[in-house]
Amino acid sequence: MKEFLSNLKFAWKFAKGERAKLIKYILCNICMIIISVIVPIISAQIIISLTDSLFQQLLFLAVILCLVEWSRNVFNRLSMYYSQVIYRETFISLQTELGKEIMRLETSVIDKHGSGVFIQRLTNDTSRLASVFNILNQYLSNILTDIGIFVAMFIINFWAFLYMLIVIVILFLLERKRTNLYNESDKKFRKENEKVSSFVGEIIRGIRDIKMLHAEDSFSKELHKQVEELNLERYEMNAVNRRYVFKSAMLRDLFDMGLIFLLVYLILEGGLVAANALVIHNYAVRVPNIVWSVGILLDSIKDFNLSCERVFNIMYGNEYKKERFGFKHLAKVHGDFCFSHVNFHYEESGEVLKDLSFQVHANETVAFVGKSGAGKSTIFSLLCKLYPVDSGVITIDGTDINDLDQESIRGNITVISQNPYIFHVSIKDNLRLMKSDITEKEMIKACKLACIHDFIMELPDGYDTIVGEGGVNLSGGQRQRLAIARAFLQKTEIILFDEATSSLDNETQKEIQKAINNLKKNYTILIIAHRLSTIINSDRILFIESGQVVAEGTHKQLLKNCLGYKELYEAELKDKV
Ligand code: ADP
């Protein structure tokens, strides 16, 4: 209960904009509770008037009943409105806040847990959390209504009241058993659900590769297996409810028969008049609902606590580490940076970078060459501070990146990845995402420098052409050139360029080369080169082997001094022949 109250306090924080409505919502529900208790009493009075032939009184009571019911409808309508507004506002602020926290997580946390955990918590758990006020209000109102009815029953006849009390205790014990079983299944169900969400996310992201590998069958089989396991859990949860509903319905019918026997006995004994017996029977139909309402309320509280735990874990827990940045802000970055004795390993991997040291000067173009898995991409990730280093220091313009704020690091670096993400909007809007106030002239200039302008002009709608999801109707080379145009617009001092591994035709490669040459001298450029022809003109080439710089120099120097580089170069020449 203590846990529930502190969780409720947390949810209350997010409903702050709508607290006045919450109070009005509660008042509406109190009015509806009072009406629920009054209505059976008026109905009984109508029957008494009928049996006593007091027709004038009967008509008067009928009008009163109608007015009372109308007011119930009005309160009900208001209550629905308030409940929806409160839910909406709480949900929006909660989901936005959690979204922000997820974006602050360390990259290694996302690597480790997969996307499903976060999708589920951001969608389902926040929704459950936001609905707590409505659920509380709804079921507490039901319970209070039933208690009111129960008290009215006590006033009319003690024996009938006692009988119903015993019925409630029996049904309550049954319900407790159900809630415990249900909650066990619910926990397992949510875990399975996260697994399936992660897997579906991966299928969608990797759909192109799955198709190309013709692996649809094995993915379908795995999906089938996971969905089957998930639905087994769902089936278990439903089975628990099914069994309970059956047992309790059978018992309720039996108890109803018992009540009729008791009421007839009381009438025959002269302890009860027929009209009151009718009121008691009307009440009795409702009273066992109290058990159901209490059950659902307890379920909902447990459900709410579980959702809170899952959301809190991300927001405040130690398991989900947040990125940390310093406070120093660099208004203008020149583009010098340095790795000094950097060691790094990924979670669950051996050491990837070992005592790595190198320096890059502003406006220099430096290429990283080495076998796949040598640690080249890792260097880029560390420079953007996607992962914290194990030891050693990385500096930008002489300042340790651990002391810099987020803007000074990521706001000054543009990454052009192997397969840049192009959004499903027009080319113009793709470029505008980088700079909302971009002029037509700037856009064309950037595209010309990126050697993509001519291609765009050949498209049916030019710059207004919509490119497919993920830019699928652009080739790899075109995507990279569009990303280079974005980099021109971003005007960051440092550009990290991960050359596409897939072989590009000579023409495209030349265009990309031209685009990179246009960037040179005005930017600090780091290139991960998969084809040495791209980087022959770099100012410097660093040859990376097992996370260390084993040689550095110009192309010519490395050909002479570095056997590994020479072998790579010769292998590439052979491939071309
Ligand atoms: P390169 O870019 O030179 O091909 P990477 O920097 O991508 O090499 O990878 C270096 C090593 O780190 C590889 O052994 C790779 O398997 C491992 N690695 C890369 N990314 C991750 C990750 N997110 N989690 C665990 N290991 C990783």
Q: What is the pLDDT of residues 106-138, one digit of tens each?
A: 888 888 887 778 888 898 889 988 888 888 888
Question: Considering the domain boundaries, does residue 186 fall inside one?
Answer: yes
- pLDDT at position 454, please? 87
Question: Considering the domain boundaries, does residue 330 fall inside one?
Answer: no
Total tally of structural domains belonging to the chain = 2
Contact 153/41 with Cβ under 8 angstroms?
A: no
Ligand 1 within 6 A of CB of 501: no
CA 198 to centroid of ligand 1, rounded, Å: 21
The verdict on 286 and 359 lying in the same domain is no
CA 307 to centroid of ligand 1, rounded, Å: 35
CA 315 to centroid of ligand 1, rounded, Å: 28
Question: Considering the domain boundaries, does residue 354 fall inside one?
Answer: yes
Ligand 1 within 6 A of CB of 426: no
The verdict on 212 and 266 lying in the same domain is yes
Question: Considering the domain boundaries, does residue 328 fall inside one?
Answer: no
Ligand 1 within 6 A of CB of 383: no
CA 111 to centroid of ligand 1, rounded, Å: 12
The one-letter code for the residue type at 215 is A
The verdict on 367 and 254 lying in the same domain is no
The verdict on 310 and 341 lying in the same domain is no
Rounded distance between C-alpha atoms, residue 182 and residue 168, angstroms: 20
Q: Which of 339, 352, 542 to mutate to test the pocket of ligand 1 (most atoms within 8 A of CB)?
A: 352
- pLDDT at position 3, please? 83
Ligand 1 within 6 A of CB of 372: yes
Task: Write phi, then psi, for 119 (nearest 5 degrees).
Answer: -65, -50
Domain that holds residue 96: 12-315
Question: Considering the domain boundaries, does residue 282 fall inside one?
Answer: yes
Q: Percent of the chain, pLDDT > 70?
A: 97
The verdict on 291 and 342 lying in the same domain is no
Q: Is the pLDDT of residue 249 over 80?
A: yes
- pLDDT at position 574, please? 61
Question: Considering the domain boundaries, does residue 361 fall inside one?
Answer: yes
The verdict on 114 and 179 lying in the same domain is yes
Q: At 156, which CATH number?
A: 1.20.1560.10
Rounded distance between C-alpha atoms, residue 329 and residue 38, angstroms: 68
What residue has token string 């006020």?
Answer: 133
Q: Is the pLDDT of residue 176 over 90?
A: no
H-helix segments, 213-361: 216-269, 274-286, 289-316
The verdict on 89 and 28 lying in the same domain is yes
CA 348 to centroid of ligand 1, rounded, Å: 11
- pLDDT at position 360, please? 92
Domain boundary (315, 347, 377) is at: 315
CA 373 to centroid of ligand 1, rounded, Å: 6
288-300: per-residue pLDDT in tens?
778 878 888 888 8
H-helix segments, 287-426: 289-316, 376-383, 406-410
Domain boundary (263, 283, 315) is at: 315
Q: Is the pLDDT of residue 262 over 90?
A: yes
Question: Considering the domain boundaries, does residue 325 fall inside one?
Answer: no
The verdict on 364 and 400 lying in the same domain is yes
- pLDDT at position 529, please? 80
Report the range of poorest mean pLDDT among 181-190, 255-264, 510-519.
510-519
Compute the average pLDDT of residues 292-321.
Answer: 86
Compute the average pLDDT of residues 60-77.
Answer: 93
Report the range of poorest mean pLDDT among 76-90, 275-289, 461-475.
461-475
Rounded distance between C-alpha atoms, residue 133 and residue 131, angstroms: 6
Closest CA relative to residue 428, chosen from 449, 387, 459: 459
Domain boundary (283, 315, 347) is at: 315
Average pLDDT, the chain: 85
Q: Percent of the chain, pLDDT > 90?
A: 18
Q: At 462, which CATH number?
A: 3.40.50.300
Contacts of 233 (CB under 8 A, 6+ apart): 185, 188, 189, 192
The verdict on 437 and 299 lying in the same domain is no
Question: Considering the domain boundaries, does residue 332 fall inside one?
Answer: no
The verdict on 250 and 379 lying in the same domain is no
Q: Which helix (H) or strand (E) holds 195?
A: helix 158-205
- How many Cβ atoms are within 10 Å of 545's Cβ, its own excluded? 16
- pLDDT at position 11, please? 83
332-345: per-residue pLDDT in tens?
888 888 999 999 99
Q: 217 vs 338, which has greater pLDDT?
A: 338
The verdict on 504 and 400 lying in the same domain is yes
The verdict on 281 and 419 lying in the same domain is no
